[in-house]
Structure 1
Amino acid sequence: MTPSEGPARGAPKPILLFLRMCPVWVFVDEVRHFVESFCACAGVSPERESQLALATHELMQNAITHSTSACIELRLAIDAGRDAVEVSLTNDCSPGAPEALRSRLAALQAEPPLASYLHTMAADPRARGGLGLARVRYEAQLELDVTTEAGRLTVKAFGQLNPPPLAAATGASHG
């Protein structure tokens, strides 16, 4: 369940952050730091703060690289009552971009997050694409979805607010 589905009865309301900005590279690192601080103020664990900041950073880089508009929109929803979190970036896009992104995402989602991350990392860097999305799926432990409406593309990264530790999620053991 995503935070956008609303709070459960009696549960705390989601904490929301909305930013609208010109797609300027200088903002990427600053917004990443801001999201990390925002998450700390919202009571998110330090490890999850870093993961959500990473997801924001990767989605912003993609939005800036592929945007055809003067602005991009960031939305972060933290819903402790539902143990859910969502980071989404919306921007205008060229006509073929949504289909290309859906195709890349389908290829990533055909494998477990770690496997698709490792395959993407092993690809020739000149031909490699989708590394940021693979990082969001594996390192940030978030699933991805793409929607379009009226020529605007939204990429959503969503999952648990408190996922199991990454080592446990991959089956790694510490002996």
Structure 2
Amino acid sequence: MSKARREVERALETYSPSLRSATVMTTSELVENAIKYGEEVPSLLSIHLRLKADSERIFIEVANGVVTVERVRHLKSRLDEIAGSDDKEALYMSRIRALLEDPSERGGLGLYRIGFEGGFDMNYTFVDSVVTVTAVRGVHEHGML
């Protein structure tokens, strides 16, 4: 994980510190999710990370195998909720409260953090037992970082 953070920092050294920080955080959250929830499948034996940056946008793509379709449904539900929210801060704070109120609740905070603090929009594809989450942010947009 620290290698991915260092590589992103290095790749974006000409961008603003706040954009680098948001991109490093987003990459870390997505890679952490891929490690925690990913599974080895014949079409993808390990996690795949791709970063693309130009003068307009930052693209982060993280792919991992998924055997259980229910995990993909859960991911879709979270991403749809984030994408449909006009108040990503309220959504993030609501998720924090839910986790504090019910310790048996697990995960999901990272995706809300990406939407709120990172300012990235996310979507996903699911093909051949591989889920790919793509996070995109304009270079001149600013999130909380």
Task: Give the TM interval when normalised to the shorter protein.
Answer: 0.7 to 0.9
Q: Structure 1: how far apart are the matches of 2:84 and 2:96?
A: 16
2:19–2:142 Cα contact (<8 Å) kept: no
Greater relative contact order structure (CA < 8 Å, 6+ sep): 2
Q: 2:118 aligns to what SS in structure 1?
A: coil
49, 59, 62: which one pairs with 2:33?
62
Q: Structure 2: how far apart are the matches of 1:65 and 1:55?
A: 15
2:119–2:142 Cα contact (<8 Å) kept: no
1:65 maps to amino acid: K
Identical aligned residues as a percent: 28
81, 85, 88: which one pairs with 2:61?
88
TM-aligned CA distance change 1:49 to 1:72, over 3 Å: same
RMSD across aligned C-alpha pairs, in angstroms?
1.7
1:123 maps to amino acid: A
Unmatched tracts of structure 2, length 5 or more: none
Unmatched tracts of structure 1, length 5 or more: 1-27, 168-175
Q: Structure 2: how far apart are the matches of 1:115 and 1:144?
A: 18
Measure how far apart 1:94 and its partner are. 1.8
Output one character per residue of 1:18-66: Cα deviation in whole Å (capped at 9) or x when no partner.
xxxxxxxxxx1221122112211xx111111111000000000000011
Query: Could you tell me which residue of structure 1 aligns to residue 24 of structure 2?
Result: 53
TM-aligned CA distance change 1:57 to 1:152, over 3 Å: same
Once structures 1 and 2 are overlaid, which stretch shifts more, 157-166 or 49-58?
A: 157-166
Measure how far apart 1:128 and its partner are. 4.2
Length-normalised TM-score, structure 2: 0.86
1:109–1:116 Cα contact (<8 Å) kept: no
Output one character per residue of 1:45-94: Cα deviation in whole Å (capped at 9) or x when no partner.
111111100000000000001111231110111010xx111111011112
The structure with more radius of gyration = 1
Q: Structure 2: how far apart are the matches of 1:140 and 1:133?
A: 10
